[in-house]
Structure 1
Amino acid sequence: MKTLHLIGSAEMGGAERWFARFLGAMTRRQEKVEAVVRTGSALARRHLTGVPFYELPLRTVWDPLSRVEVSRLIAGSDARIVQTYMGRATRLTHIRPGRGRVHVARLGGYYRLDPFRHAHAWIGNTRGLCDWMVKGGLPASRVFHITNFAEPVKASGAAERIALREQIGLSDSDCMMVTAGRLVEVKGHRFLIDALRRAPAEVAGRRVRLVILGDGERLLPLQRQAAEAGVAGRIHWAGWQHDPAPWYQAADLVVFPSRDEETLGNVILEAWSHGKPLLTTAFRGAREIARHGEDAWVVPCDDSAALAVGIEQLLRDAGLRQRLVQAGLVRVQKDFSEAAVIDQYRALYAGLTGAD
């Protein structure tokens, strides 16, 4: 069964990385997929290798010409499932029921529901998000929970790890913490920078350094905060990484300081899949999937002191780090594997279209 997938973003973020990851996995598993992305977008430029795609301007959510262009493309497609991601693509996609196609809107956050109500079915990547959609008036029988899967790990050796560290002035004996995410308020970077101020500069004779993967509107305020806190020299700003895998592989600890509004948090799955100990805040998604002291060390949101204590405790306790790593690897294979998630999508599409 062919499926058509639309997203209107210009730049990359968590939702866009998921879009490319999901369609790549569908293609590898011999599913017929096509994508529609914004003309000149980061997805179009470099992230859809092996996935057939079209580019449309997708100008604004109110643009009548963009809506006509989307409708024409859908009319010319033989896809039975049209799946949209986020607000722009969903608002521009309108398919009347009974036309042989099903419009599925996938939500990855607690967006305003009105722009999504005209879809025929809805997918949420956490149970909490699905419950929220039903409470917001969407029919429970058409709301489906399918989580994300972890990105396949690209193995790297000790030489690559050491080389990457040397590029940013770190030795193999330094403690390298990595955090990943757009530099926006919900990601909680300001609390992590304050935690770095509170945490020891060295643990067990090893320097503690933080690598921030990401870019966004909060870059300059965060850099000012780091300078004022006296920790600017302990932070490396790596910018947005199209392939963060080498950074995860080089890390000793992954820290994810998001605020409560964070829906799922793909960084949790990425830390587990790369076999790295995880320190995370107890945001919505983490409360649903992470288990404190078993597969992650979980501290309250917006609590710099708790983050600092967690950093020191994990860097001092190698046994604890190893236990978290082993449990995280088990969780990925059991609950967040690519095969299991793709099978859920296959079953959903078959059920929605009445296919055998």
Structure 2
Amino acid sequence: MSEPTTLQMVASKELGGAERWFIRFCAALAERGAPAELAIRAGSALDGLDLGGLPIHRLPFRTTWDPWSRHAVDRLIRRIRPDVVQTYMGRATRLTRLPERGGPVHVSRLGGYYALGPYRHAHAWIGNTKGLCDWMVRQGLPAGRVHHIYNFADPARPVPPERVAECRAAHGVPEDAWVLATLGRLVPVKGHRHLVEAMSRLPATLAGRPLRLLMVGDGPLGPELRRQSEQLGQQDRILWTGWQRDPAPYLQMSDLIVFPSLDAETLGNVILEAWAWERPLVTASFRGARELARHGEDAWCVPCEDAPALAQGIERTLSDPSLMRAMTERGRERVEREFGREAIMTQYGELYRSLAG
């Protein structure tokens, strides 16, 4: 059987977790030579980015009820006649209405615990954690059509030392500093305010080395978090990089990855990125972390929304080189075995063949 053709559709205007996954997923499809085409919102943050060289269709995607956008989606699907239409987030999913039989299969990929009303008309659903899939079934979706596939972690791609040195100098990071990094949108669910407070609870130095925290990302909470850091006297220790299309230099210069998300966080790609980059990890025990991480083995886990525990976890980890080495090694083994790109893309290929068959 030939590989099923797919149309991958995302209607978002800005870049968030789903859109960053979409970028990586498109690159993986292209690398495999998969017969895929893309539909994105015209003029969105995705428009103009490298999406693996796959054919791109720019649609209006104005609102979830806009008849012109609905017509544009229907017309595109009739024209290219894919075997599978995979939608991301609510808008693209709501605007895609396909018959139960005799046409493409509509699969909706969910990366969060969203209200399922806008998704129920799809023919199948993908959840990126087991917990999310179990929840979808409890909400009434048929178990036989709910499919679990984790996100993959891209392998670390080190950059030249000169590039790392440039980033370090640009942010004034001392050569002898412990470098902590946290990656993600500056939005409430990421729990950054607890990390800012945790920094205020850490000593000026650990083992004679100063501490610096790289906030890699942007978002609506940026101004509030900066004010908090100033109020707590952390403006010199917390450094703001803004959104980075390629965070590799910051991952490469880091000694520790910290992920302070709230319990509502579904998966947490930062966990996989830390393991792929062979960096020790301190993470809050949000529901995605409880499914993925093993405390004291591949991560140091602390309660959510608990700045004192987060500070203690950071200090405990940085003070124990043997613990850091052990967690790094276990994380590397797990990401290679369970979350590699080839393994996850093989699962997607098998699912598409099953749905199209």
Decide: shared fold, TM above 0.5: yes
Report the equivalent of 1:48. Answer: 51
Q: Deviations over 1:161-213 (max 9, x none)?
A: 33321221113311111101111100000000000000112111111011101
Report the equivalent of 1:179. Answer: 182
Report the equivalent of 1:64. Answer: 67
The reply to whether residue 141 of structure 1 matches residue 144 of structure 2 is yes
Report the equivalent of 1:153. Answer: 156
Provide the C-alpha distance between the structure 1 equivalents of 2:333 and 2:18, rounded to a whole number of angstroms: 25
Provide the C-alpha distance between the structure 2 equivalents of 1:161 and 1:335, rounded to a whole number of angstroms: 29
Give 2:333's match in structure 1, choosing from 330, 335, 352: 330
TM-score using structure 2 length: 0.97
Gaps of 5+ in 1: none
The reply to whether residue 348 of structure 1 matches residue 348 of structure 2 is no
* AA of the residue aligned to 1:129: L
Report the equivalent of 2:257. Answer: 254
TM-score using structure 1 length: 0.97
Provide the C-alpha distance between the structure 2 equivalents of 1:35 and 1:71, rounded to a whole number of angstroms: 14
Provide the C-alpha distance between the structure 1 equivalents of 2:39 and 2:8, rounded to a whole number of angstroms: 6
* Superposed displacement of residue 71, structure 1: 0.7
Provide the C-alpha distance between the structure 2 equivalents of 1:262 and 1:288, rounded to a whole number of angstroms: 12
Report the equivalent of 2:98. Answer: 95
The reply to whether residue 285 of structure 1 matches residue 262 of structure 2 is no
* Superposed displacement of residue 118, structure 1: 0.3
Provide the C-alpha distance between the structure 2 equivalents of 1:231 and 1:171, rounded to a whole number of angstroms: 15
* Superposed displacement of residue 41, structure 1: 1.3
**Structure 2 counterparts to residues 1-356 of structure 1, below 5 A:** 1-354=4-357
Q: Please give the secondary structure, in 1, of the residue aligned with 2:147.
A: strand
Provide the C-alpha distance between the structure 2 equivalents of 1:294 and 1:43, rounded to a whole number of angstroms: 37
* AA of the residue aligned to 2:281: L
* AA of the residue aligned to 1:132: W
Provide the C-alpha distance between the structure 2 equivalents of 1:106 and 1:351, rounded to a whole number of angstroms: 16
Provide the C-alpha distance between the structure 2 equivalents of 1:13 and 1:256, rounded to a whole number of angstroms: 16
Q: Please give the secondary structure, in 2, of the residue aligned with 1:84.
A: strand
Q: Deviations over 1:290-323 (max 9, x none)?
A: 0111111110000000100011111111111111
Q: How many residues align?
A: 354
Provide the C-alpha distance between the structure 2 equivalents of 1:152 and 1:35, rounded to a whole number of angstroms: 24
Provide the C-alpha distance between the structure 2 equivalents of 1:327 and 1:317, rounded to a whole number of angstroms: 16
Query: Is the 2:30–2:52 Cα contact (8 Å) retained in structure 1?
Result: no
* Superposed displacement of residue 26, structure 1: 1.2
Q: Please give the secondary structure, in 1, of the residue aligned with 2:47.
A: helix
* AA of the residue aligned to 1:52: P
* AA of the residue aligned to 2:59: L
* Superposed displacement of residue 157, structure 1: 4.2
Provide the C-alpha distance between the structure 2 equivalents of 1:347 and 1:156, rounded to a whole number of angstroms: 34
Q: Please give the secondary structure, in 2, of the residue aligned with 1:232.
A: coil
* Superposed displacement of residue 69, structure 1: 0.7
Query: Is the 1:38–1:44 Cα contact (8 Å) retained in structure 2?
Result: yes
Query: Is the 1:162–1:171 Cα contact (8 Å) retained in structure 2?
Result: no
Q: Deviations over 1:196-242 (max 9, x none)?
A: 00011211111101110111111111111111111111111111111
Query: Is the 2:26–2:52 Cα contact (8 Å) retained in structure 1?
Result: no
Task: Give % identity.
Answer: 53
Aligned CA-pair RMSD: 1.0
Provide the C-alpha distance between the structure 1 equivalents of 2:308 and 2:50, rounded to a whole number of angstroms: 38
